[in-house]
Amino acid sequence: MLVPYESLLSLVTGIFRDRGLPTERAAIAAAALCHGDLTGVTSHGTVNLTRLYLPLLDRGRIDPEADMHVRTDLGACVLADARRALGLWSASQAMELACARASRYGIGMVSLHGATHIGCAGHHAARAVAHGMIGLIASNCGGQRIAPPPGGTTPMLGTNPLALACPAGDAHPFLLDMSTTVVPTGRVRAAARAGRAIPPGWLAAEDGSPVTDATAFDRGEARLLWLGGEPETGAYKGFGLGLLVEILAALVPGAALGAVSSDGDSDDDIGVMALAIAPELLRTGFSEDATALFDAVRGWPAWDPGAPVAYPGWHEGERAARFRDHGVPIPAAIFEELRAASARVAG
């Protein structure tokens, strides 16, 4: 079904507010969660409300009212304890603070430990674009272990997402939002729920042979591959990028680390890096050059004239514009879940 964007936002905002989040915070978190549905990244949208965020709130593992506690402030750099606040909100707060610092120093970094699941990393990174800035978000998965290192028998790290947003003039912003594994677990589980086979190259069996049955992952019969796939096609780069995120997002602030975790199932104490760069403070002509770059990508000679070349974020921007005008596609079962969650608290 198609749900008007403002109705969806307001429904989710109400659910978060009823669970104890202050109103403004609830609205920011709702926008972060609905970003998934709005851009077509449905694995990270409202489907996660009843599966991920509400149980964490109900069990007290997320504190709806906690404020960030700044531990070190060096001006261009802030290290803070997110104190188990809802990550959907605190990652956006971290990015806004990074932008404020970048507006004075050219660059700003906010490094969080004690965070909870942030949803789509790209949503938070994209906040920088509203300030004419470049935004980068890296987040680990706390102590959670999902993918094994190349040559290793057991999972070590999470899917460790990395996102970069950059203004593109009047066009949709550049927005890369990627797990450092071939795909995030959400896409494997969505295929498993739908009974769809997955392409070779996402999962592998112990002996390295491709697994196309998505349900094998949660049965522990297949490992999720790092970007690059096998060692000869770049698995060490994907694993290296996973560690890059672990270092920047979690080792820097002192958050939980997958490799030294005492509980490989827990995604408590997540680490987040929010970095903003203010290019217009550094030089003139940035905006014109960004427009020229992304226009050139869009106009690049394509094999199929019906499938023009695109940069990350372009298709998501098109979808968001369409869904804002005509309604956001939400499966009827998910919409019922949202209504039930809303009614339960209100009742």
Write down the residue that tokens 């994907």 correspond to: 238
Contact call for residues 95 and 276 (beta carbons, < 8 A): yes
CB of 164 to a second copy, least distance (A): 5
CB of 235 to a second copy, least distance (A): 10
Q: Is residue 326 near a second copy by the rule CB under 8 A?
A: no
Q: Which is nearer to a second copy, 297 or 345 (CB)?
A: 297
Q: Which is nearer to a second copy, 9 or 272 (CB)?
A: 272
As to burial, measured by CB atoms within 10 angstroms (0-12 exposed, 13-18 middle, 19+ buried), residue 333 is exposed
Contact call for residues 205 and 211 (beta carbons, < 8 A): yes
CB of 303 to a second copy, least distance (A): 6
Integer Cα distance of 173 and 293 in angstroms: 12
CB of 157 to a second copy, least distance (A): 9
DSSP string, 105-122: HSEEEEEEEEE---S-HH
> Interface residues for a second copy in 121-140 (CB under 8 A)?
134
Q: Which is nearer to a second copy, 56 or 79 (CB)?
A: 79
Residue 8's nearest CA partner among 323, 316, 345 is 323
CB of 84 to a second copy, least distance (A): 18
* Stretch near a second copy under the rule CB under 8 A, chosen from 31-39, 47-55, 74-82, 216-224: 74-82
As to burial, measured by CB atoms within 10 angstroms (0-12 exposed, 13-18 middle, 19+ buried), residue 100 is middle
Q: Which is nearer to a second copy, 86 or 252 (CB)?
A: 252
Q: Is residue 234 near a second copy by the rule CB under 8 A?
A: yes
**Interacting residues of 59 by C-beta distance below 8 A, sequence separation 6+:** none
> Interface residues for a second copy in 149-178 (CB under 8 A)?
149-154, 156, 164, 166, 174, 176, 178
* Stretch near a second copy under the rule CB under 8 A, chosen from 38-46, 195-203, 320-328, 336-344: 195-203
Contact call for residues 49 and 335 (beta carbons, < 8 A): no
Query: Residues for the chain: how many in total?
Result: 347
Continuous segment of H or E residues that includes residue 347: none
Which 3 state secondary structure label does DSSP give 132?
coil
> Interface residues for a second copy in 278-307 (CB under 8 A)?
279, 281-283, 285-286, 289-290, 292-293, 296-297, 300-304, 307
Contact call for residues 270 and 163 (beta carbons, < 8 A): no
Contact call for residues 25 and 13 (beta carbons, < 8 A): no
The CA-based dihedral angle spanning residues 66, 112, 278, 290, taken in that order and rounded to the nearest 10 degrees: -100
CB of 83 to a second copy, least distance (A): 16
> Interface residues for a second copy in 211-230 (CB under 8 A)?
227-230
Q: Which of 254, 264, 327, 329 binds a second copy (CB under 8 A)?
A: 254
Q: Is residue 6 near a second copy by the rule CB under 8 A?
A: no
* Distance spanning both ends of the chain, measured CA to CA: 25
Q: Is residue 114 near a second copy by the rule CB under 8 A?
A: no
Q: Which is nearer to a second copy, 89 or 314 (CB)?
A: 314
Continuous segment of H or E residues that includes residue 138: strand 134-139
Q: Is residue 182 near a second copy by the rule CB under 8 A?
A: yes
Enter the tokens of residue 81: 């304890």
> Interface residues for a second copy in 33-62 (CB under 8 A)?
none
Q: Which is nearer to a second copy, 87 or 238 (CB)?
A: 238
CB of 328 to a second copy, least distance (A): 23
